[in-house]
Amino acid sequence: MATVGAPRRFCRCACFCTENLYVARYGLHVRFRGEQQLRRDYGPILRSRGCVSAKDFQQLLAELEQEVERRRRLGQESAARKALIASSYHPARPEVYNSLQDAALAPEFLAVTEYSVSPGADLKGLLQRLETVSEEKRIYRVPVFTAPFCQALLEELEHFEQSDMPKGRPNTMNNYGVLLHELGLDEPLMTPLRERFLQPLMALLYPDCGGGRLDSHRAFVVKYAPGQDLELGCHYDNAELTLNVALGKVFTGGALYFGGLFQAPTALTEPLEVEHVVGQGVLHRGGQLHGARPLGTGERWNLVVWLRASAVRNSLCPMCCREPDLVDDEGFGDGFTREEPATVDVCVLT
């Protein structure tokens, strides 16, 4: 008889299908539980933003119902896409699927991580080794990947984009980009990045946000280009913490802007703008309101990693601000976990 750790089952909160549905045309996140509720809660603000006729409202209603149905099917459809890609897709740069190597990481990032796990490491010492973008907002920046790795990853992403493989939306606000778990890059790239490098760093920067207890993530690449997505409306992330790395290419505009935490009533007064630097990552709290200014020229590709700590979010869903109503999901789900026995006895044949 041997004792082994039970596999963790991740979940989502049921609010995923009712809360924070983004309506790009009106620049608004809404709660949606039916027509009457929508009219009651959002009628005035929708009219002020151009939803004035019966046709406008019926079109909005149809879009929201379609989005709710998409969210309900999301886990199963994503798993099906991942399986098809794994069996049929031929990478252009297969080396990016190898297990993450130190050679792919910027020397500054390796140094920051080495310091974070050293005896006696503290926040003061860490802040001497990275850039503080805003002390008040607790936003930081550090080089993450080398230029050759950014280039290789971009070539692979473009190759996938041009293939006939099925593709999921990165999130509800971005229509162009790649979900890294569907492409098969979670296990070799993103999980070791979170476990080996980001967790010790975040434990010092954000101990109060679960930085030392990160146990899942959602990683995706977003693309901004003429004729596609050009900007990103103000929002907060479904994550305790976020890493946003500029991968390239050549572009102007598109700066990030940051307000306060979403709970603050004056959260968007005097926003802070942060320019992208290729290869460098911006670290911030998931609840920090932020968006992206319009792209000027060129193409911009960014890797976004939502970092999650079930020990934090199991008590309070960051999207509905209530105790989560758990629904089983695929993969990491939305980072929630059920209470499960830590170990289980199994028979081992010898």
Select the more confidently predicted residue: 185 or 4: 185
Least-confidence region, from 66-75, 115-124, 306-315:
66-75
Say what the pLDDT of residue 233 is: 84
Exposed e or buried b for every residue in 55-75, given b needs 16+ CB within 10 A?
Answer: eebeebeeebeebeeeeeebb
Say what the pLDDT of residue 144 is: 98
Eight-state DSSP code of residue 228: S
Residue 167 maps to a domain: yes
Residue 90 maps to a domain: no
SS3 state of residue 342: coil
**pLDDT tens digits for range 203-231:** 999 999 999 999 999 999 999 999 998 99
* Extended strands (E) in 51-189: 131-134, 139-143, 177-179
Residue 127 maps to a domain: yes
Q: Which helix (DSSP H) or strand (DSSP E) does residue 22 occupy?
A: strand 21-23
Residue 143 maps to a domain: yes
Least-confidence region, from 3-12, 113-122, 125-134, 156-165:
3-12
Q: What DSSP assignment string belongs to 171-221?
A: SSS--SEEEHHHHT-IIIIIHHIIIIIIHHHHHHH-GGGTTT---EEEEEE
Cis previous bond, 249, omega within 30 = yes
Is residue 6 pLDDT above 70, yes or no?
no
CB-side neighbour CA atoms (13 Å) of 55: 0
Say what the pLDDT of residue 254 is: 93
Residue 212 maps to a domain: yes
Domain extent for 155? 97-314
Amino acid at 141: R
Cα–Cα distance, 252 to 246 (Å, whole number): 13
CB 275, CB 253: distance < 8 Å: no
Q: Angle 35-48/54-88 helices, nearest 10 degrees?
A: 110
CB 154, CB 248: distance < 8 Å: yes
**CA angle (171 as vertex; 190, 285 as ends), nearest 5:** 65
Token pair, residue 233, equals 């409306």
User: Rounded to the nearest 10 degrees, how much is the dihedral formed by the CA atoms of 195, 198, 203, 204?
Assistant: 150
Is residue 140 pLDDT above 50, yes or no?
yes
CATH number at residue 105: 2.60.120.620
Residue 41 maps to a domain: no
Total number of domains in the chain: 1
Residue 327 maps to a domain: no
Residue 221 maps to a domain: yes
Cα–Cα distance, 237 to 44 (Å, whole number): 26
Cα–Cα distance, 316 to 308 (Å, whole number): 12
**pLDDT tens digits for range 159-198:** 999 999 999 988 777 888 999 999 999 999 999 999 999 9
Token pair, residue 5, equals 């750790």
Cα–Cα distance, 302 to 1 (Å, whole number): 48
Select the more confidently predicted residue: 233 or 131: 131
